[in-house]
Amino acid sequence: MAAKRKTLFERLVDFSLSLPEAWEDHPWGETVAKVRKKVFVFFGVEQPKTGVFLCVKLPESATHILPEDWAEPAGYGLGKSDWVYIKFDKRPSVTQARLEEWITESYRHVAPKTLAKMLERGSD
């Protein structure tokens, strides 16, 4: 039997969980990735096969992506701290690699400095 192809949602969750000390949690019935006890990406509930939803902390990239129609400041006051909703109802117009870059940026700004530095060492 052939293995089922993973959805983009599943691949992004897997990528998030590959970061140092990252783990999956389900507060409020949605999927999030945490480092230690802090959320670094909200995935919401799984989207249809072609859609994707992320909420990530993007101090470096927010000003570049907020003008796009698929991005907006996060609610509940999080937008003031550079958290951004990224939502595609259909196939994303950005690559999986770009979404992973934003997840990594969020991780670097939420994780303890010692863990964030592990990513820098890994890219040398």
Are 38 and 50 in contact by the 8 Å Cβ rule? The answer is no
- 10-residue stretch averages of pLDDT, the chain, 124 residues long: 72 96 93 96 73 91 94 91 88 88 97 91 57
The values of phi and psi at residue 25, to 5°, are -140, 165
Residue 47, pLDDT score: 59
E strand segments, 7-82: 22-25, 31-35, 38-44, 52-57, 71-73
The predicted pLDDT at position 2 comes to 53
Domain limits, the chain: 8-115
What is the structure's pLDDT at 62?
95
What pLDDT does residue 124 have? 46
* CA 119/CA 80 separation, integer angstroms: 26
pLDDT at 4: 65
Instruction: Confirm if 107 and 19 have CB atoms less than 8 A apart.
Output: yes
